[in-house]
Each structure stands twice: as structure tokens, then as C-alpha cells.
């Protein structure tokens, strides 16, 4: 059980597990790429009282997780499939996390814990509180590869398809959340110029200030458009839904 749990957490952070078949640790499954590491992490997990957080902190602070994701011809030639985790492969957020991130930056997320689930897509609670009903799936999360609940799914696919971008561009729900985000920015930097608002949008959405080129382009955009449009454009960037 410890090995399976460790492998699933590794897969969540790195995109693939130390064992490539997370649902099959038997003879028909794949062999671990790093068996000694898997055993050591499992023993650490047990030693820490089977608590996920210390294990997660250990993996996040490791040199393996902190590899750079830029192009490296040497690493590509030596390990094209990244079996040895020689480089960082950007990971897209899960469907639930994408929706939660949009709610968080809008400032409208209801952070209340516990309570009943819901099937209402307009709910402002975290996505974990959606009731799973096979005949009534959450369309916005299905677009981002939320699993079909009829079958066990050890690892989710991560597709890049047009409906994802179209949902971010055209959904009334997104527009409503981005209107709230624009009001949040206005409240955070009242009376400030366009540049200050651009910086605040980037910090809220991407966790960093804009580069000079981004600041110039976004400021020009804001002079000719609306703050809501800018918010929607920034959360539609790959950087918003990928961990690099």
C-alpha cells in the first residue's frame, strides 16, 4: 500500500509514476524505473506516520522535481522518454484544479469546508464538492479530461483540443468570474494607472509580474479594451493551467 501511494503522488507531481502502471503492481504491470527509490520513499512514508504532506514536501524539494523544463539536447538524446526524470516535463492542472484556480483568482471562491455536494455548475465551492453522477457530468471539467466515473482510471489523459480554448473564450460563466476578477483588481489598485492594473492581473493569475514586453503589450491592450478582457486573456494563457 505504501509503494502504491508513493507512486501515485510521484505520478501526480511528475506526470508519470516510478511504476508506469499505477493500477497494476503485479507481474503483468510495468517494472519500477527506480526500485530502490520507490522502496526508500515508501519507508519514509511509513516512518512519517503515513502522512501525505511530509512526503509531498520531500518530493517538491528534491533535485528531481526542480529540474529545468527548457530544451536540453543532451538529456533528450540520453533519455528521450524521460524515464530517468532527467528534465522537467510541464504538467497541466487537472480539470478540478483549473476550475478552482479560476474561482480563486476571481475572488469569488466559497472556501467553506464540508457540507453536502452539488450538481449545480454555477456553484462557487471547490470542485471536490461536486456530486458524481454519470448522467450529469460537469461539462467544463469534462472538456479538460475529467474521468468518466464508470471505470477505474489510474492516470488521466491530458489532451489539448479546441473546446478547451473555446470554453475559456466564450463561456458566460468565465465572463462572470473575470468580471469579478476585474473588480478585485480595481479594488486592489484603486486610482492607479493601466500599468499597475496589468501588473496586478499578472501577479494574481500567473504568480509573477509581466516582462517588459508583456507590460507594454498589455498596457496598450488595456488602453483600447477593458480590464475584463485583459483578465480573460491572461487566464487563457498556457502558463495559467500548466505547472512548468
Which of 71, 89, 107 is where one domain is finished? 89
Q: Taking residues 15-26, what's their average pLDDT? A: 91
Domain boundary among 72, 89, 106: 89
pTM: 0.89
Q: Indicate whether 160 and 230 sit together in one domain.
A: yes
pLDDT single digits (tens) 192-208: 899 999 999 999 999 99
Domain limits at 191?
A: 90-244
35 and 82 share a domain?
A: yes
**Residue 55 pLDDT level (bands cut at 50, 70, 90):** very high
The number of distinct structural domains making up the chain is: 2
Q: Stretch 74-92: mean pLDDT, rounded?
A: 85
Question: Closest by alpha carbon to 173, among 141, 197, 203?
Answer: 141
Does residue 72 have a pLDDT over 90?
Answer: no
**Is residue 71 over pLDDT 80?**
no
Instruction: Based on the fold, state whether residues 84 and 96 are members of the same structural domain.
Output: no
Query: Are residues 54 and 122 both part of a single domain?
Result: no
- Do 129 and 178 lie in one domain? The reply is yes
pLDDT of 70 higher than 80:
no
Collect contacts of 145-151 with beta carbons under 8 A, ≥24 apart: 145/94, 145/95, 146/94, 146/95, 146/96
Q: What is the mean pLDDT of the chain?
A: 92
Residues 125, 238: one domain? yes
Whether residue 65 is found in the same domain as residue 37 = yes
pLDDT of residue 144 exceeding 90: yes
Of the CA atoms within 13 Å of residue 214, those in its CB half-sphere come to: 17
Amino acid at each position: 500500500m505504501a509503494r502504491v501511494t508513493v507512486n501515485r503522488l510521484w505520478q501526480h507531481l511528475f506526470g508519470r509514476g516510478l511504476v508506469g502502471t499505477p493500477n497494476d503492481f503485479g507481474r503483468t504491470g510495468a517494472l519500477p524505473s527506480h526500485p530502490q527509490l520507490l522502496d526508500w520513499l515508501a519507508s519514509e512514508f511509513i516512518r512519517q506516520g503515513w502522512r501525505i504532506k511530509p512526503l509531498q514536501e520531500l518530493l517538491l524539494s528534491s533535485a528531481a522535481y526542480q529540474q529545468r523544463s527548457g530544451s536540453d539536447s543532451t538529456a533528450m538524446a540520453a533519455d528521450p522518454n524521460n524515464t530517468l526524470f532527467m528534465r522537467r516535463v510541464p504538467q497541466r492542472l487537472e480539470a478540478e484544479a483549473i476550475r478552482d484556480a479560476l474561482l480563486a483568482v476571481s475572488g469569488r471562491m466559497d472556501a467553506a469546508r464540508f457540507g453536502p455536494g452539488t450538481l449545480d455548475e454555477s456553484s462557487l465551492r471547490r470542485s471536490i464538492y461536486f456530486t458524481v453522477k454519470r448522467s450529469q457530468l460537469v461539462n467544463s471539467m469534462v472538456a479538460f479530461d475529467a474521468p468518466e466515473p464508470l471505470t477505474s482510471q489510474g492516470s488521466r489523459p491530458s489532451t489539448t483540443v479546441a473546446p478547451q480554448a473555446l470554453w475559456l473564450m466564450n463561456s458566460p460563466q468565465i465572463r462572470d468570474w473575470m468580471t469579478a476578477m476585474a473588480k478585485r483588481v480595481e479594488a486592489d489598485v484603486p486610482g492607479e494607472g493601466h500599468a499597475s492594473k496589468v501588473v496586478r492581473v499578472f501577479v494574481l493569475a500567473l504568480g509573477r509580474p509581466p516582462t517588459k514586453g508583456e507590460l507594454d503589450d498589455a498596457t496598450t491592450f488595456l488602453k483600447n479594451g477593458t480590464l475584463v478582457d485583459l483578465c480573460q486573456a491572461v487566464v487563457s494563457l498556457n502558463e495559467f493551467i500548466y505547472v512548468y
